Amino acid sequence: MSKRRPYTRPMAGWWRKNPFFVEYMIHEGTALFVAAYGVVLLIGLVCLAQGEAAWNGWLATMKHPLAVIFHLAVLAMMSYHSWTWFKIMPKTMPPVVIGGKRLAPAMITGGGLAVTAVASLILLGLAWGLTR
């Protein structure tokens, strides 16, 4: 083992020093909630495959106050994911040129959020109309 101990800048909590990085870490953190929600749906699907008793058990669990609080947190983080996803999109997608001019970032972000709003209304409308 070498006796040299070169200075290494400590990395712990680096992202707390800059609001931009805090925002970055929160939007990366939404992945934990997307994963958790995916797993909740997957468990529901497996219960559905196992029969009516298992399914009703899953539904009852979803009614537990802790489950509802959990889903409120997921809703907040999922919405934040939507917002940052489209906010960052102008930087991550190839430039779109329409009529010789580059499409403005605000148009891409706004377009994505508009699609989300319309799709949400359609989904809610379908769920409401089909299960009434």
CB of 108 to other proteins, least distance (A): 13
3-class SS at 104?
coil
Closer CB to other proteins, 92 or 100, in the complex: 92
> Tokens representing 108?
């891409």
Q: Is 101 left (phi over 0), alpha (psi -120 to 50) or beta?
A: beta
Between 12 and 98, CB nearer to other proteins: 12
Q: Which is nearer to other proteins, 37 or 103 (CB)?
A: 37
Reading the block at residue 102, the tokens are 């580059």
Nearer to other proteins, 6 or 101 (CB): 6
Burial 86-106 (b: 16+ CB within 10 A, else e): bbeebeeeeeeeeeeeeeeee
Give the residues lining the site for other proteins (CB under 8 A). 11-12, 15, 25, 28-29, 31-32, 34-35, 37-42, 44-46, 48-49, 52, 55-56, 59, 62-63, 67-68, 70-72, 74-75, 78-79, 81-82, 85-86, 112, 115-116, 119-120, 123-124, 127-128, 130-132
Question: Which tokens belong to 88?
Answer: 């960052």
